[in-house]
Structure 1
């Protein structure tokens, strides 16, 4: 169960009493701002598509276990003369 935290005291009551940030403090905030999160962008991103294939073709690739889509992609690249 979550427990409600007690209110924390502030050093000021009126918003006008909030201390201004100095130029150096603002520079530190701006330097720290551009944080990139997540996975890096791929140089050659995949494209999602729908294709209908014969069941025995799919079964053959799936029979080799995980990674069957990558293996199928490689087979298609070879057949197309791309790799």
Structure 2
């Protein structure tokens, strides 16, 4: 197995490093170990939230009523 150069770059050596360009990033290959992997996918722009998160205290009876309605009781509360 080949030894890896573990040279640490000192602050005065930063000036010698080339500026990274978009072309360099386009040619870049994503690897895990020595295995080439496809470029990781990125999430696109997210939808604007249609609901608002709140903290709400309700009487026990109200919550029990909606829970007794079965699955989706929280959604049903939102429409009530």
| TM-score normalised by length of structure 2 | 0.44
Higher strand share: 2
| TM-score normalised by length of structure 1 | 0.43
Higher helix share: 1
